[in-house]
Chain A
């Protein structure tokens, strides 16, 4: 995720189309980076930090569809918008089924493109902050001892200290100590926050 309005990665083998996309995005306040082929993109040692991809379907060498699959396989969540010729609609539909965010038909209207980019960037950033939160929760919960984890599980299920103590066959006093350690380690200010954290991780596992 980048700062500002957003940064878009353009992969298209037609120099004029590529440059016109760059300048159009520039005029709307976006930054961009461009690649003349999927192969040139893949040859880079690391993936660019961007909020969306604009990919051409047909390129010499690796095509757009294959590049999309590669990104998905790498666990990339950055939304991909395809730019297609008129004849490529069935291909675009397949791409959407495989998780592409959207597609545009050439020639496109600037409003249409910018709307799709804006949506993609917004969704990506929302997803990204959620993922960041999950990651933070995971890091914190990972610090718990197995016993503390047991106590946490029972608390988020709605058990009282007493009930938890009975479940774990320990004294309520010990449960209280564990509970205080859990709150401290996770930085949660309430049971509600704890529930949300645990919920995020469960969601992520599914």
Chain B
């Protein structure tokens, strides 16, 4: 038995449901003419139902969707693939004020006799998007702050790495000044070598500064192809002095023929810096004899594992479960963000950061990164 479509009595419960819905709902006909525009839709778009009754739904869309809408509809009605109908996706909506807003839109077809009608259910994503953006920004801030903290701890070592070439430059130049005009048979040859060495050492100092600047820079995640061996090598250069003064032996093992990896160089370096620094700190605190840190890079299955291990005391059982939680620290002056930020970085790269005891009973951190990109 057919019901008469416009019967007010029959529509009463439907109206109540439409207006009670939290999500905006817009019902339109085959031509896209608006039949119903619920209360939430009025709030979302800034129009009354009267404003919109009979108008085309394209009034709620900015270009280019507005221009394409008729095409979408006719393709659907002639049996083609739906762009939105039956599916849901993120779109941009147009408010009465002319402002655009991110929203989730799903459209269903109301099947009955006669002409097809469509119900669009729309959820405002402005707030969710803003929160997401805020979280991303906060993460970027935190990651940067953590890098600065770690760099601060490495300052003495980095100063040494710059002071060494400066010492050599000063001594070379002083020697050169003395040799100019010297009648010594080897003076000319020495002078030439001195000039080459001065420029070489100036570049050596410059390299340290530029590595430092890159790590200190603040920026959103930016992935590109990198040689993982070179990336790890650059990190180790910052540790030269730190290792020497703490007497820690550092060994590296690289699986041959590692592919280029698609990653954010600074962030992955940050993870490795944190892991090595943690190992050195723990070895120092434990007063280990023959302290050793090992960095191993290997391919395992569809991922590359960067393993940082040491022969220190390792992480006691009860601390392991909290290891990656923010603000969890066992260091007297620690903030407890290092490892949680490192884990976030790993996850943002589609990978993971995990802990396990090493064979010697020390700590072993495994940074896994997907081998998706082979350059």
Q: Which residues of A does B touch, CB under 8 Å?
A: 14, 16-17, 19-21, 23-24, 26-28, 58-60, 85-87, 106-110, 113
Contacts and interface: CB of A to CB of B under 8 A. Distances in A.
Interface string B188-205: 001001100100110010
Contacts, number: 80
B164 A20 contact: no
A27 B182 contact: yes
A20 B193 CA distance: 10
B204 A108 contact: no
Given A86-B159, A87-B156, A23 B167 contact: no
Contacts of B164: 14, 16-17, 106
Nearest to B193: A23
A108 B170 contact: yes
Contact of B171 (A21, A58, A59, A60): A21
Most buried by B among A26, A108, A109: A26
B197 A16 contact: yes
Contacts of A109: 170, 174
A16 B245 contact: no
B244 interface: yes
Main secondary structure of the interface of B (DSSP, over half): helix
Contacts of B200: 16
B170 to A, nearest CB: 4
A23 B244 contact: no
Nearest to A60: B244
A121 B200 CA distance: 32
Given A106-B163, A106-B164, A106-B167, A27 B156 contact: no
Contacts of B45: none
Contacts of B170: 20, 107-110
Given A23-B194, A58-B244, A85 B171 contact: no
Nearest to A85: B160
Interface residues on B, range: 20 to 34
Contact of A108 (B160, B167, B179): B167
Given A58-B245, A87-B156, A17 B178 contact: no
A166 B33 CA distance: 146
Contact of A19 (B160, B168, B179, B204): B168
Given A14-B164, A107-B166, A110-B178, A20 B171 contact: yes
A20 B244 contact: no
A109 B178 CA distance: 13
Contacts of B245: 58
Nearest to B166: A107
16 contacts: A16-B200, A16-B201, A17-B167, A19-B197, A20-B172, A20-B175, A21-B171, A23-B190, A24-B174, A27-B175, A85-B159, A85-B163, A106-B164, A107-B163, A110-B175, A113-B171
Contacts of A16: 164-165, 168, 197, 200-201, 204
B178 A28 contact: yes
Contacts of B169: 20, 107
Given A17-B171, A23-B175, A26-B190, 16 more contacts: A14-B164, A16-B164, A16-B200, A16-B201, A20-B175, A20-B197, A24-B174, A27-B176, A27-B178, A59-B244, A60-B244, A85-B160, A85-B163, A106-B167, A109-B174, A110-B171
Contact of A24 (B166, B175, B186): B175
A121 B244 CA distance: 31
Contacts of A107: 163, 166-167, 169-171
Given A87-B156, A106-B163, A110-B174, A17 B168 contact: yes
Most buried by B among A16, A19, A106: A16
Closest A-B pairs by Cβ, 7 of them: A110-B174, A20-B171, A27-B178, A16-B168, A107-B167, A24-B175, A106-B167
Contacts of A85: 159-160, 163, 241
Contacts of A14: 164, 168
Contacts of B194: 23
A194 B363 CA distance: 72
B163 A27 contact: no
A106 B160 CA distance: 9
B179 to A, nearest CB: 5
Contacts of B241: 58, 85
Interface string B139-182: 00000000000000000100110011111111110111011001
Contacts of A108: 167, 170-171
Contacts of B156: 87
A86 B175 contact: no
Nearest to B160: A85
